[in-house]
Amino acid sequence: MNLAESLLQDKGFNGFSYAHIASELGVKNAAIHYHFPAKEDLACAVIQRYRDRFKLWTNNSRVKDLSPEEKLNWFFSIYSDFRADNGKVCLVGSLEAEYNSIPEQLQKQTEAMHRELLAWLQVTLKEGRDAGVINFNGEPANKAALILSSVQGALQMARALGTKKFRDVVEQHKLDLVV
Amino acid sequence: MNLAESLLQDKGFNGFSYAHIASELGVKNAAIHYHFPAKEDLACAVIQRYRDRFKLWTNNSRVKDLSPEEKLNWFFSIYSDFRADNGKVCLVGSLEAEYNSIPEQLQKQTEAMHRELLAWLQVTLKEGRDAGVINFNGEPANKAALILSSVQGALQMARALGTKKFRDVVEQHKLDLVV
DNA sequence: TTGACAACTTACTAACTAGTAAGTAAAATT
DNA sequence: AATTTTACTTACTAGTTAGTAAGTTGTCAA
C-alpha cells in the first residue's frame, strides 16, 4: 500500500502496474492479487487509508489545538512535503486528472476524499476569519475550493517549472489572506 | 490531432491508444503511425498546435485590444469551455499529473506551453494593476501562478465535485481581484 | 504512358497488462 | 497430532499496447 500510494502520486493510476510493486517487493504479481483481487481494490484501500489518516490528524490535538494560521501552515506543509518527496503530486489531483479512465469505486473514493479535505479547509478558514486573524471576501467554501485547487495545480506545475513556483503560489496565498 | 487533443484532455497520455483514434476515424493503427511515427510525436504535435493557437489568439486584436478585466474574463472562459465540453481538463494539468511517465520531448513541450500561458497571464495582471482596474498584493508572476494553478486544479476538482465548484473558484478569483 | 509519391492496409511482433487456477509450505487453530 | 488457514509461487490466459515491414491503391506530374 505504501508503494501503491507512492506510484499513484508519481505516475497515476494508469501509469503503474502490479508488476512494478511486485518486483520492488521481491514477490510475484499473484501475491498482490491475493491481498487486493483487482487494481481498483488496491487503489481504493490506499485512498481509504489516506482518508482515515487525515481524519486522525485533524482530530488529534497536535493539529486541532493549533491557531487557524498554524492550521493553514500545517495544511500547506503537507503539500510542501509531497513536493519535496521526489515531486509527488496530491492523490486527488492525480486521480481526477484521469478521472474518466479509472474504475467507478475509485471515483467515489476520490470524491469522498476531496469533500473531506475541502470541508476541513472551509471550517478552518471560517474559524480564522471569525477570529479576525485571516482575511478574505466571500464564502469560506469558495475560498477553500480556490486554495485547494491551487495547491493541487501548483504541485503539478512544479513538475514542469520547478519547486520555486510551488513556493511562490503558497506565499501568494498567505499574502492574499493577510488581514 | 483533434481526437488526440480530446483524448489527452479526457483520459491523459497513458489513457488513450492509437487504436482509440483509429477506430473512431475508421482507419487502421498503421495509418496514424504513418503520420506520427511514435505516440510522442502525435502528442508533441498537439501541444505545438495549441501553443501556436494561443499565440495567435493573444496577438489577435480581438483579444489584444480588450481591457485587462475583459482579457481575464476571456482567459477564464477558455477553461469554462473546457469544463462544458464533457468535463475536459486543461492539457497542462493532464500532462503534468503524469509528468513522470511521459516521454522527454513531451515534457519539454509541456513546460514551454505552461511558461507561455503563465507569461501572458502575468503581463495581463500587471497591466490591470498598473491601470488601477485590478487589485492584488505581491508580484504579478506569483499571482499569475496562483490563478493558473487554481483553474488547472479546479477543472480536475469539478470532475469529482461538479461544475458548480469550478464556477465558485472563478467567482472567488474575481472577488479577490476587485479593487 | 510512365513513374513517383502519398496515404494508406494487411499482417505481424514483442512487450506488457490485469487477472486466474492450481499447487505448496509454514503457521495457527482445534 | 490432525486440520485448517494464510500467504504465497508457478504457470498460465486473453487482451491491449506501441511500433514495424511489406504490399496496395489512387493521384498527379513529366
Asked whether the predicted pLDDT for residue A107 surpasses 90, the reply is yes
Asked whether the predicted pLDDT for residue A30 surpasses 90, the reply is yes
Percent of chain B with pLDDT over 90: 99
Quickly tell me which residue has 473512431 as its cell.
B24
- List the 67-106 stretch of B: residues with Cβ below 8 A of A: 87, 89, 92-94, 96-101
Beta-carbon separation of A152 and B153 below 8 A: yes
A73-105 pLDDT per residue, tens: 999 999 999 999 999 999 999 999 999 999 999
- Angle at B161 (CA atoms; ends B109, A171), nearest 5 degrees: 55
- List the 3-22 stretch of B: residues with Cβ below 8 A of A: 10-12, 14-15
Domain boundaries, chain B: 48-176
Average pLDDT of every residue of chain B: 97
Asked whether the predicted pLDDT for residue B38 surpasses 90, the reply is yes
Q: Name every residue whose Cβ is closer than 8 Å to that of residue A162 and which is 6 or more positions away in sequence.
A: none
Amino acid code (one letter) for B162: G
> Cβ of A11 < 7 Å from strand C?
no
CATH superfamily of B48-176: Tetracycline Repressor, domain 2 (1.10.357.10)
B151-172 pLDDT per residue, tens: 999 999 999 999 999 999 999 9
- Angle at A98 (CA atoms; ends B150, B37), nearest 5 degrees: 110
A1-29 pLDDT per residue, tens: 999 999 999 999 999 999 999 999 999 99
Q: Is B62 exposed, middle or buried (0-12, 13-18, 19+ CB in 10 A)?
A: exposed
Q: Which residue of A has its CA nearest to B94?
A: A97
Q: How many CA atoms lie within 13 A of B173 on its CB side?
A: 25
Q: How many CA atoms lie within 13 A of B115 on its CB side?
A: 9
Give the pLDDT confidence score for residue A60 in this predicted structure.
97
User: CA-CA distance, A51 to A114, in Å (whole number)?
Assistant: 9
Q: How far is the CA of B53 from the C1' of D23 (A)?
A: 39
Give the pLDDT confidence score for residue B179 in this predicted structure.
83
Q: Which of A39, A100, A137, A170 to mutate to test the interface with B (most CBs of B within 10 A)?
A: A100
Q: Which CATH class is domain A44-176?
A: mainly alpha
Asked whether the predicted pLDDT for residue B67 surpasses 90, the reply is yes
C-alpha gyration radius of chain A? 17
Average pLDDT of every residue of chain A: 97
Beta-carbon separation of A100 and B15 below 8 A: yes
A144-179 pLDDT per residue, tens: 999 999 999 999 999 999 999 999 999 999 999 998
Residue in B87, B145, B159 closest to A168 by CB: B145
Give the pLDDT confidence score for residue A133 in this predicted structure.
97
User: CA-CA distance, B154 to B169, in Å (whole number)?
Assistant: 7
Section A105-127 average pLDDT = 98
